[in-house]
Amino acid sequence: MTNPGNIIVTGASAGIGRATAMALLDAGWTVGLIARRAEPLADLAKGREGAVVLPADVTDAASVDRAFEDFVARTGRLDALFNNAGRGLPMATIDEISPQDWRAVVDVNLTGMFLCARAAFRQMRHQTPQGGRIINNGSISSTMPRPGSAPYTATKHAVSGLTKTISLDGRAFNIACGQIDIGNAATEMTERMAAGITQADGSTRSEPLMAVADVAAMVLHMAGLPLGANVQSVTIMATAMPYIGRG
């Protein structure tokens, strides 16, 4: 199988990150697996040619830089990044959210995404041949909030601005940047949505989910485009989830 290129996936130990990393490996990519916990990364990499385990904390600049440098030292270059690591909080109104919890979400969802994009951009800018692609995981919350989600929604709105700026700044260096906004992919994080979650009108209703493999297929498509083409933004969602017309 021809190697389509070398890509790093953050948040690769579970959920969307794990499913996407597996799809990329199955398609022949060399995949750097970043997450804080080494054990689930090693489990994912077991028996899979092309998997590179890179335990790292995306909120720590030195840890991020070491992981990216290690990957390039082992593979030669970086063609793409799926900037996926993220976290949320239990539903609460803004007055019930502590500054510590706010900062914890900002540290992962925004600062972590900045640090990983920064490391990827630096490598892509200076490698030969120059260029690469960054794909940021935004979320439907980058445009439309759920009730009680101030930290998560604020960071995901900010990701949209980060994506557009990287896309603009990357033009001079053959670096493409796009964003995937995901709604209700079936992972551990969305089990509560199937069980029943608060809606904008205050009611609690179960929401439909979609297969996480469909998200992985979309990222695989975005990553595989030639650098002359870019998916600037795409929304992939469970067809009947309450988004169109939400609220």
Q: What tens digit of pLDDT does each residue of 217-238 get?
A: 999 999 999 999 999 999 999 9
Largest interatomic CA distance in the chain? 55
| Spatial distance between the Cα atoms of 52 and 6, rounded to a whole number of angstroms | 10
Whether 24 has a pLDDT exceeding 50, the answer reads yes
Query: Looking at residue 195, what is its pLDDT?
Result: 78
Whether 174 has a pLDDT exceeding 90, the answer reads yes
The 8-class DSSP code of residue 11 comes to S
Strand partners, 197: 205
Nearest to 132 by CA among 45, 51, 32, 1: 32
Average pLDDT for 39-59 = 96
Nearest to 156 by CA among 184, 169, 137: 137
Average pLDDT for 114-125 = 98
pLDDT higher for 190 or 125? 125
Query: Looking at residue 206, what is its pLDDT?
Result: 82
Q: Which of these is catalytic: 23, 152, 159, 183?
A: 152
What's the number of CA atoms in the CB half-sphere (13 Å) around residue 30?
14
Average pLDDT for 158-166 = 98
Whether 204 has a pLDDT exceeding 50, the answer reads yes
The 8-class DSSP code of residue 236 comes to E
Residue 243: pLDDT band (50, 70, 90) is confident
Whether 37 has a pLDDT exceeding 90, the answer reads yes
Nearest to 122 by CA among 29, 114, 213: 114
Residue 188: pLDDT band (50, 70, 90) is confident
| Spatial distance between the Cα atoms of 79 and 100, rounded to a whole number of angstroms | 36
Query: Looking at residue 129, what is its pLDDT?
Result: 97
Assessment of whether the complete model's pTM goes beyond 0.85: yes
Whether 207 has a pLDDT exceeding 90, the answer reads no
Share of the chain above pLDDT 70, in %: 98
Query: Looking at residue 247, what is its pLDDT?
Result: 47
* Low-confidence winner among 61-75, 96-110, 188-202, 219-233 (lowest mean pLDDT): 188-202
Average pLDDT for 14-26 = 96
Whether 142 has a pLDDT exceeding 80, the answer reads yes
Look up 152 and say whether it is catalytic.
yes
